[in-house]
Structure 1
């Protein structure tokens, strides 16, 4: 069994299920599951195995499988499906009082964070690993923090297996863990390299307190021990960015340990306590999103003091509220009639099409343009994944965008920056089904 995958599962179960970091003991059924998915050749094969295996599992054994199913869906570009399949919801503090418009106002998250970071040396932001929406703010902050003088970028998904990453300029499958297979995460790494950040892999294959300590000590050794004037931007998962004990049970989080090592208090930004996990409009997330509507990530500022709101002030400095984006139409909406789009290379038209909607935030505020595709690209081999590669990059490079078709009449949109790409459709065994050059025009 893959040591990295198994130890990561320990932490994921602790974080996502029990909201603590108590040791997790896997039963034989779960061990078999981890062993099998660790040896699957690609994400689509892993998804297929999980979708077939989950119905066979006892209810108590399904939680771990559903988590990895959610990660697989996210890595295949099925972003809304990933969230609906495993609706993670943190346990908020029992005494939490939500802000109201009488005392608080909404402000652009990137603007506020940039202002607060001006005199800071460490900025940390977190993500939910199955929710790519939580990666967009990091992408927006990279150039802003670079302009402030931040010169190191650390990403949890990166590993030590790719010493040529910065020189090459783009990540591949060997550059990091399974989370890096998401094109938006790949964009984060590409942008950090392009902007001149020194890239810092810092995670380890450990679990529990050893993992928190190891992460912090690696960051200290690679950054501040070598460069006393360094300024560090960290993209981490979940509660690693916390500066106090709480969300990880009795564990002292990575940020807390790094502060002790450096004497530098991080600016910690949370995106995982208040997440859109479904269509229930009565939860805390939807109540805040309704009270403070915005089309961009936002934070709340106190009308009297101007200070940002945090759901856990001891743990992190700001709570980010992402705009609602989930839709059941991600699972399809049948459209009937003659089609003349979604066709590449003269492939057959589809008269009735199941339109699989994707979130508007994939346009990156207009930087990327919609490009229609359909399951006709799969050459009657379903399921298949459609990857779009930048020119000159190999098949194992992290793609510009991707989407997995699970039905023969599905159609959807890729989101790509204007330019020339290599489109590649592959089956779950990695077989090339179709390869084609496409051009995405300027607006």
Structure 2
């Protein structure tokens, strides 16, 4: 199964994926080169090596997608880029409300809820994790995940992802989301186009549209086999859009057209200007606190928009790790010989790591500074048995972090 990677180039367009055909440029595809360093021949993960490659070879890479690649690999190791902000929204025009009651009210009368994400913002996955609990109480028990390789059927008996489960599933918060979905009772499946469905088109718009149509077909096949199923669909960026734009027809639009129903679509990627103090938790965009509305580039193309707060990072950790994605805080001293050095601190489920080693996906990880005496890592479940690993890093993060 090939992995599809989203990229920002000439607006929000999607790059094919790191191992397949991409736009022809005189420079290397940074996603493709970095992924070669992410996995070894046995499927073991190395989260530091891709960043070394990207930082050392900046001038060799396609500048249109270099920044997206760097932000993606930083997000894998807990170095989060600031959530984008815009002054496009006029101060005072909107009110921000608690999203859960308003989403639940719409979800009760729907059969499919589609939620998107910015691939460099793991906080969007943390919000989805929280939302799954609400939707499960409304009868939603199937979870379609674009990032999950459709070939990984065993995830529903294993209950956690591995390095072979997909591309974005290697990011710890996405791994937490999949584990939490299984623990909440969701049947998880990947709806991405399969290798057997792939076709090549000379026109990139036809290629995009075909891919999204096949995603919709794959979801509809599960619905046909499970007539009473209510499904949560988790996608990247524009796949959530219900209507065609600039010659591109998106998965949600195909699902609506082919399935003859109206999905509930929720956008998390729209930048927003805060007229006053920014909230500390995700909020829903409304006109008066009760009536949802939409704004920005995706206005009128989705039903609801969730606005995320700026990152608040006590102890160099994002606030949502202790709220929406709450788990047990593991606070331990950094042992010698890692004390006084920069290292990647990784938290694993003990059983997963014993069975799979470095093919396991960390529960949490981030770069510790040389000045730190201890690390703060979050397990997913309160009584989860865990193990902490340390990997030398020595990257010039302060100078190079998102310096594209």
Superposition TM-score tier, normalisation by shorter sequence: 0.7 to 0.9
Tell me what 1:402 maps to. Answer: 365
Query: CA deviation digits over 1:116-156, x for unaligned, max 9?
Result: 11110010111100011111221111111111111210111
The list of structure 1 runs, each at least 4 consecutive aligned residues, that deviate by more than 4 angstroms after superposition, is 20-24, 87-90, 373-378, 380-383
Conserved? CA contact 2:115–2:234, under 8 Å? yes
> For 1:1-80, what aligned pairs fall within 5 Å after superposition?
4=2, 8-9=4-5, 12-13=6-7, 15=8, 17-20=10-13, 25-31=23-29, 33-40=30-37, 41=39, 42-54=46-58, 56-57=59-60, 61-79=62-80
Give the 3 Å change call, closer, same or farther, for CA 161–383 of structure 1 in structure 2. Answer: farther
The separation in 2 between residues aligned to 1:398 and 1:196, in whole angstroms, is 21
TM-aligned CA deviation for residue 243 of structure 1: 0.3
Conserved? CA contact 1:374–1:409, under 8 Å? no
Tell me what 2:285 maps to. Answer: 300
Give the 3 Å change call, closer, same or farther, for CA 154–63 of structure 1 in structure 2. Answer: same
Tell me, which stretches of 5 or more residues in structure 1 are unaligned? 275-284, 331-355, 429-443
The separation in 2 between residues aligned to 1:155 and 1:366, in whole angstroms, is 18
Conserved? CA contact 2:110–2:263, under 8 Å? yes
The separation in 2 between residues aligned to 1:259 and 1:120, in whole angstroms, is 12
TM-aligned CA deviation for residue 369 of structure 1: 4.4
Could you say what secondary structure the match of 1:273 adopts?
A: coil
1:287 aligned to 2:274?
A: yes
Match of 1:202 among 162, 167, 191: 191
The separation in 2 between residues aligned to 1:20 and 1:372, in whole angstroms, is 40
Tell me what 2:127 maps to. Answer: 137
1:316 aligned to 2:302?
A: yes
> For 1:31-430, what aligned pairs fall within 5 Å after superposition?
31=29, 33-40=30-37, 41=39, 42-54=46-58, 56-57=59-60, 61-79=62-80, 83-84=81-82, 98=90, 100=92, 104-177=94-167, 179-204=168-193, 208-221=208-221, 223-246=222-245, 249-274=246-271, 285-288=272-275, 290=276, 293-303=278-288, 306-311=290-295, 312-325=298-311, 357-364=316-323, 367-372=326-331, 376=335, 379=338, 384-394=343-353, 395=357, 396-405=359-368, 408-410=370-372, 412-416=375-379, 417-419=381-383, 420-427=385-392
The separation in 1 between residues aligned to 2:10 and 2:135, in whole angstroms, is 34
Conserved? CA contact 1:153–1:200, under 8 Å? yes
Structure number, greater radius of gyration: 1
Aligned CA RMSD, in angstroms, stands at 3.0
Query: CA deviation digits over 1:236-260, x for unaligned, max 9?
Result: 11110100122xx311000000111
Conserved? CA contact 1:161–1:174, under 8 Å? no
TM-aligned CA deviation for residue 321 of structure 1: 1.1
The separation in 1 between residues aligned to 2:55 and 2:31, in whole angstroms, is 14
Query: CA deviation digits over 1:144-179, x for unaligned, max 9?
Result: 1111111210111100232211101111111121x1
Give the 3 Å change call, closer, same or farther, for CA 16–180 of structure 1 in structure 2. Answer: farther
Conserved? CA contact 2:145–2:191, under 8 Å? yes
Could you say what secondary structure the match of 2:320 adopts?
A: helix
TM-score normalised to the size of structure 1?
0.73
The more displaced of 164-173 and 372-381 is 372-381
Conserved? CA contact 1:326–1:359, under 8 Å? yes
Conserved? CA contact 1:21–1:250, under 8 Å? no
TM-aligned CA deviation for residue 380 of structure 1: 7.2
Tell me, which stretches of 5 or more residues in structure 2 are unaligned? 17-21, 40-45, 199-206, 394-404
Give the 3 Å change call, closer, same or farther, for CA 146–50 of structure 1 in structure 2. Answer: same
The more displaced of 44-53 and 396-405 is 396-405
The more displaced of 265-274 and 386-395 is 386-395
Conserved? CA contact 2:216–2:251, under 8 Å? yes
Could you say what secondary structure the match of 2:257 adopts?
A: helix
Could you say what secondary structure the match of 1:392 adopts?
A: helix
Query: CA deviation digits over 1:214-264, x for unaligned, max 9?
Result: 11111111x222122221101111110100122xx3110000001111111
Give the 3 Å change call, closer, same or farther, for CA 366–139 of structure 1 in structure 2. Answer: closer
How many equivalent residue pairs? 361
The separation in 2 between residues aligned to 1:21 and 1:379, in whole angstroms, is 39
